[in-house]
């Protein structure tokens, strides 16, 4: 029986100073990805990944192309060593763009430009508001939904049973955390992001990015892709 391999790609918040340095040194294919990213963006993204500072690497306009580039460098290094073809790809939020690239929907340069613009627009929205996110563990989703609604906060991600992410204005997140704790939900972890992603505060960025996507050519995927919003497999550029 042929092996059935799937690829999963990380989202924003997975960044770390030093990421990719070992790949750059060990893999010619990974090194080429980093250098192409530098040339495409006219930015020394490689230095920011390898040396930081962490504050710069956390900013959406840097973080998003950096994680996307890191993801594709990992994939390039893997394929340099092994003739691997996935049957399905997926990613969390930002990681969905790496999944689409791995599935042939976008080429690396087109994906990088999209992600860089997405990061720029989201950072613009972040600067227009003061937002935060937090993971909520081991809590009933309907109870978290209710507490968030009462405090004007959005549930950003239903990651898996027992893990939700909430998103909203700083003060409202603080109120919601207090309310969760009063309800006996104590495992709440702040996330390393610079804004309230997947919340109503990102709507201005979403509207502007929709205009960019409307003019972007998408290829038919070479394998199945699972998308976050619909939570199911998609097979055509129209669906994507």
What are 99-156's pLDDT values in tens digits? 999 999 999 999 999 999 999 999 999 999 999 999 999 999 999 999 999 999 999 9
Residues 22-40 pLDDT 10s: 999 999 999 999 999 999 9
Q: Kindly report the average pLDDT of the chain as a whole number.
A: 94
Which positions are catalytic? 93, 198
Is it the case that residue 1 has pLDDT exceeding 50? no
Confidence at residue 67, expressed as pLDDT on a 0 to 100 scale: 97
Confidence at residue 11, expressed as pLDDT on a 0 to 100 scale: 92
More confident residue, 130 or 66: 66
Those residues whose C-beta lies under 8 Å from the C-beta of residue 135, and which sit 6 or more positions away, are: 159, 163, 164, 165, 188, 189, 191
Residues 184-238 pLDDT 10s: 998 999 887 788 999 999 999 999 999 999 999 999 999 999 999 888 999 899 8
Those residues whose C-beta lies under 8 Å from the C-beta of residue 16, and which sit 6 or more positions away, are: 57
Confidence at residue 193, expressed as pLDDT on a 0 to 100 scale: 79
Is it the case that residue 54 has pLDDT exceeding 60? yes
Q: How far apart are CA 79 and CA 85, in angstroms?
A: 8
Confidence at residue 3, expressed as pLDDT on a 0 to 100 scale: 79
**pTM score > 0.75 for this model?**
yes
Could you report how far apart the first and last alpha carbons of the chain are, in Å? 30
């Amino acid at each position: 029986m042929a092996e059935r391999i799937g690829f999963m790609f990380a989202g924003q918040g997975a960044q770390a100073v030093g990421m990719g340095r070992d790949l750059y040194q060990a893999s010619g294919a990974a090194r080429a990805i980093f250098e192409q990213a530098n040339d495409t963006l006219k930015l020394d993204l490689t230095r920011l990944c390898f040396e930081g500072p962490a504050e710069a690497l956390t900013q959406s306009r840097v973080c998003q192309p950096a994680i996307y580039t890191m993801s594709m460098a990992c994939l390039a290094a893997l394929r340099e060593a092994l003739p691997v073809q996935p049957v399905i790809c997926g990613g969390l939020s930002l990681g969905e763009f790496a999944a689409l690239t791995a599935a042939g929907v976008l080429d690396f340069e087109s994906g990088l430009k999209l992600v860089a613009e997405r990061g720029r627009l989201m950072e613009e929205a972040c600067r227009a508001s003061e937002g935060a996110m937090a993971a909520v563990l081991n809590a009933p989703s309907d109870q978290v939904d209710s507490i968030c609604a009462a405090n004007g906060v959005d549930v950003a991600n239903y990651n898996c049973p027992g893990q939700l992410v909430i998103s909203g204005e700083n003060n409202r997140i603080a109120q919601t955390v207090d309310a969760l704790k009063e309800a006996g939900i104590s495992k709440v972890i702040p996330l390393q992001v610079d804004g309230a992603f997947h919340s109503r505060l990102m709507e201005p960025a979403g509207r502007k990015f929709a205009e960019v996507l409307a003019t972007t050519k998408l290829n038919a995927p070479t394998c199945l892709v699972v998308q976050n919003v619909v939570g199911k497999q998609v097979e055509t550029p129209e669906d994507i």
